[in-house]
Amino acid sequence: VVGKKESIARLQKHPLARAIRADKLCLAALSATLLHYQKDEALQEIPTWRMISLSTDQLRQRAEKWKNSLGLGEVITSQSTVGGGTLPEETLPTCVFALRVNSPNRLLGQLRSFQPPVIARLDEDKVLFDPRTVLDEQDHDLLSAIKSSLNLEK
């Protein structure tokens, strides 16, 4: 916080000051993140930048892998939303794994009930899974959740 000494003193005494104060864990995470930028390794080490930097060919390969693993669906081109706060309307081209099911909203609800939840989107009555939003190490959990949900839907 930057400002007059009196204003800062009032803010420090406010009951919310303790709740919003950065703790040691938060500062350690911030420090580690900033070091990745300093070492010019943000694209490899920061998950958000790693996801943003994926090529459409890489995304298509993962979506095809999901399709082949499940033995159904299709791979189509789409757009990934980059994010809310700083880039609310920015999109990137992507390739998604798409499923057409009888009850897409029910499937979406089932997927959200898993731990961790699977968040997909609905577009033109197809449930879309965007590889840009799934870390490589999460593929198994994603595919397990889809398989389980599809068995429940039958």
Q: What is the pLDDT of residues 85-117, one digit of tens each?
A: 777 788 999 999 999 999 999 999 999 999 999
Q: Of 109, 79, 76, which is closest to residue 92 (Cα–Cα)?
A: 79
- The two tokens of residue 15 are 């009951």
Helix (H, G, I), strand (E, B) or coil at 60: helix
pLDDT band at 125 (very low <50, low <70, confident <90, very high): very high
Helices (H), the chain: 5-13, 16-20, 24-38, 42-45, 47-52, 56-70, 104-112, 139-153
Give this prediction's pTM.
0.78
